[in-house]
Structure 1
Amino acid sequence: MADLILHHYPNSPFSEKVRLMFGFKQLAWQSVLIPVIMPKPDVVALTGGYRRTPFLQIGADIYCDSALIGEVLERIAPTPPLYPVQSAGLARTLAQWADSTLFWTAIAYAFQPAGLQSMFANVPPEHAKAFGADRAAMRGNAPRLSAAEATANLTDYLDRLENMLADERPFLLGAAATIADFSVVHSIWYVRRVQSIASILERAPKLLAWADRMAAIGHGTFGKMTSVEALQLADSSTPAALDATFVHLSDVAPGDRVTVTPTDYALDPVEGELVQASASMLSLRRTDERAGTVIVHFPRIGYQLKKIAV
């Protein structure tokens, strides 16, 4: 099997989600550290403009969004399962809520003045300013929770999650971790790291014990790779064969020039030739002078597909 290459940075919540999934699956992987803010020239060369963190590279195939990365890892290593048959629907639904509603609530809570002061205490002012401008551009006109609203909402969500563990089950849906656990834990992990505002978590002791169990899973075994090496690998590789089944969408067909754009934040379109539209994934072929020909894959949910007018 080709190397699993995670393009990430240490403090990225969604990267922590994927790193723990590597540990859960006991997979070996390569770590490519990328910039926290734009510009990200090596990232753009591989993704075509997708700027979220993380993304997974397997040769000349680029998988965007942690939701899709979970599906890819499940295919590569089915055991232990992230999506056990008896609870797959519930696990996926809880994961989607956690990756959206819970995540943005946790971010709004962490980014209150006391949290920001703690996060950037040892960072030069110009770096903190650049980070703030970058994240503001990513969010655009999306609505933002105030600190008071985020505190109230997060308090309620913590109580709900604590209630899920009230019967002493080790994980949110039972005896084994599922995709729901990995999608919830990264928000808790992020808030917990901001010590000045982490006391809100003390209301949920069972949840904190669960978070410790999740952390104990670890990150698997990994080596280090540079972004230049990752680009060279993509350029020398051939994308994997795609499923021949194509789920048609209105007037869009294989071979059409299209864009795929997130629907919530970081609304940077990726343009390419549509080569696959499955029930759960969209795949574009694109060529870059450094990365060569790559296939960039996106989940269906959370992304908009548009045909480019000729």
Structure 2
Amino acid sequence: MNELILHHYAMSPFAEKARLMLGHKGFSWQSVNIPNIMPKPDVVALTGGYRRTPILQVGADIYCDTALICDVLEHRQPTPLLYPEHQKGVARVLAQWADTTLFWAAMGYTLSPKGAAALFGKQPPEVGKAFGADRAAMRTGMTSLRPGDAAAAFRSYLRRLSTMVEEQPFLLGSAPCVADFSAYHPLWFCRVINPAMADIFEPTPHILQWMDRMAAIGHGTSSKISSTDAIAVAAAAEPEPLTDDIFQDEHQIELGSRVTVAAESFGPETTEGILRAATRTRYTLERTDERAGRLHVHFPRIGYVLREVRA
């Protein structure tokens, strides 16, 4: 019941971040392949609504968002470090920038009309249309960079990152940390998944060398299981006991209240449940699914909105 189960799909950049972190830690893990667009009934059975990729399952505990997955992996196996001593703050801040600002510049460039044509050009037209419609629904209310603005920003960010790896192998020193994994995955999507757009890296050879070092980390050891089997694992388990330090009240919402949690921006779907914990760093909701049983679904505080459900 304590095995790590990653729900992901091959071309997901954030899933690549998680796969590399699993490899960095040397974990053996179970792999569940999920759809890259909705509907995702087996994912929603576990999360209650959240549909972003990936999610990490440990028995009946479901961890959403790679920022929280980083914390889970670090707690489960402290070395090698994701948060380097004396640089934890800067590593987290750089990772958050990479997962948001850098990510959207990279995606705006890589999935520009030219990039989308290259990525989906050999597939039936309905595949690209379905993917575009799905992601447009996830961006409801967001302001997206225009392709030209995204390309200009991405080039600038690549130059800035390049200066960080000219005289050292990784962004903050001799070993990779959370900042490296966060900065790598949107660049990986461009270089590996849509290589027709990868000429943007030519002026920054140090970035390519750094990316090769990151890719060499690998994904650890994984074995495939079905989503049905993963749901059965959850149904046979009970959520792990919560720690004593479970409540930091910022919303005047009491533990035991019925609440919803949703991402601030990308992916507006909500998860509803009973608030069981609101720590300094995460929310925990209890919910019950007819197939998966009683679950604890965990979200990071940063980037997510907590609301009370009022009758």
TM-score normalised by the shorter chain: which range applies?
Answer: over 0.9
Q: Which amino acid aligns with 1:205?
A: P
- Check whether the contact 1:30–1:225 (CA below 8 A) recurs between aligned residues: yes
Deviations 1:51-99 (A, max 9, x none): 0000000000000000000000000110001001211100000000000
Q: Could you say what secondary structure the match of 2:186 adopts?
A: helix
- Check whether the contact 1:19–1:219 (CA below 8 A) recurs between aligned residues: yes
Q: Which amino acid aligns with 1:276?
A: A
Q: CA deviation at 1:124?
A: 1.2
Equivalent positions of 1:1-310 (< 5 A) are: 2-166=2-166, 168-193=167-192, 194-245=194-245, 246-310=247-311
Moved more, 202-211 or 242-251: 242-251
Q: Which amino acid aligns with 2:103?
A: F
Q: CA deviation at 1:203?
A: 1.2
Q: Could you say what secondary structure the match of 2:87 adopts?
A: helix
Q: CA deviation at 1:141?
A: 2.4
Moved more, 65-74 or 243-252: 243-252
* C-alpha distance in 2 between matches for 1:155 and 1:17: 21
Moved more, 127-136 or 66-75: 127-136
Q: Could you say what secondary structure the match of 1:63 adopts?
A: strand
Q: Could you say what secondary structure the match of 1:140 adopts?
A: coil
CA RMSD of superposed structures (Å):
0.9
* C-alpha distance in 2 between matches for 1:298 and 1:162: 32
Q: Could you say what secondary structure the match of 2:255 adopts?
A: coil
Q: Which amino acid aligns with 2:24?
A: F
Deviations 1:152-209 (A, max 9, x none): 101110110011122x200000011110000000011011121221101111111110
Deviations 1:17-40 (A, max 9, x none): 000001100000000000010000
TM-score, normalised by the number of residues in structure 2? 0.98
* C-alpha distance in 2 between matches for 1:250 and 1:159: 41
* C-alpha distance in 2 between matches for 1:144 and 1:115: 16
Q: Could you say what secondary structure the match of 1:211 adopts?
A: helix
Q: Could you say what secondary structure the match of 1:56 adopts?
A: strand
Aligned residues: 309
Q: Could you say what secondary structure the match of 1:274 adopts?
A: strand
Moved more, 228-237 or 139-148: 139-148
* C-alpha distance in 2 between matches for 1:156 and 1:139: 24
- Check whether the contact 1:8–1:55 (CA below 8 A) recurs between aligned residues: yes
* C-alpha distance in 2 between matches for 1:118 and 1:250: 46
TM-score, normalised by the number of residues in structure 1? 0.98
* C-alpha distance in 2 between matches for 1:64 and 1:196: 31
Q: Could you say what secondary structure the match of 1:135 adopts?
A: helix
* C-alpha distance in 1 between matches for 2:251 and 2:12: 36
* C-alpha distance in 1 between matches for 2:251 and 2:296: 22
User: Share of identical aligned residues, percent?
Assistant: 53
Q: CA deviation at 1:250?
A: 3.0
Q: Could you say what secondary structure the match of 1:159 adopts?
A: helix
Q: CA deviation at 1:125?
A: 1.0
* C-alpha distance in 2 between matches for 1:202 and 1:296: 42
- Unmatched tracts of structure 2, length 5 or more: none
* C-alpha distance in 2 between matches for 1:255 and 1:124: 49
